[in-house]
């Protein structure tokens, strides 16, 4: 079965320090990978996406993610955390296939930023 694993349910960092949110997915030919962010009681906003172009993907608000096929990982990073980054982050995979319309969501990582 297709799956996405976010390795940490909660990550806490100090403001100004690096952020690392980890995501592994089950292997498949040509997956599309996404990171979304959700602030409390809000919808999901797309941070970045990998769709078989460059393996290092730059997104909004200074976030990046690197697609590593050999490790089946797509970890999200940011060099310096800001208070406004505190939110829940979802790693999402879309597997290719005829008529494949479904996304597979990780269970989310809640990021806390300490002043």
Partner 1 sequence: DGGITQSPKYLFRKEGQNVTLSCEQNLNHDAMYWYRQDPGQGLRLIYYSQIVNDFQKGDIAEGYSVSREKKESFPLTVTSAQKNPTAFYLCASSIGSGNYGYTFGSGTRLTVV
Name the residues that contact partner 1, by CB under 8 A.
9, 32, 34, 36, 41-46, 49, 51, 90, 94, 96, 99-103, 105-108
**DSSP-derived 3-state class of residue 60:** helix
In the chain the first and final C-alpha atoms are separated, in Å, by 41
Rounded least distance, CB 76 to partner 1, Å: 15
The phi-psi region of residue 9 (left if phi > 0; otherwise alpha if psi is between -120 and 50; otherwise beta) is alpha
Rounded least distance, CB 13 to partner 1, Å: 21
**DSSP-derived 3-state class of residue 15:** coil
Comparing CB distances to partner 1, the nearer of 81 and 93 is: 93
Comparing CB distances to partner 1, the nearer of 59 and 62 is: 59
């Amino acid at each position: 079965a297709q799956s996405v694993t976010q390795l940490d349910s909660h990550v806490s960092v100090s403001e100004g320090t690096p952020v690392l949110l980890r995501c592994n997915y089950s292997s498949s030919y040509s997956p599309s990978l996404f990171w979304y962010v959700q602030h409390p009681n809000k919808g999901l906003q797309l941070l970045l996406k990998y769709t078989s172009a460059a393996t290092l993907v730059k997104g909004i608000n200074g976030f990046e993610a690197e697609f590593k096929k050999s490790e089946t990982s797509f970890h999200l990073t940011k060099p310096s955390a800001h208070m406004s980054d505190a939110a829940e982050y979802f790693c999402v995979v879309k597997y290719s296939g005829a008529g494949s319309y479904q996304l597979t969501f990780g269970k989310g990582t809640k990021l806390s930023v300490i002043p």
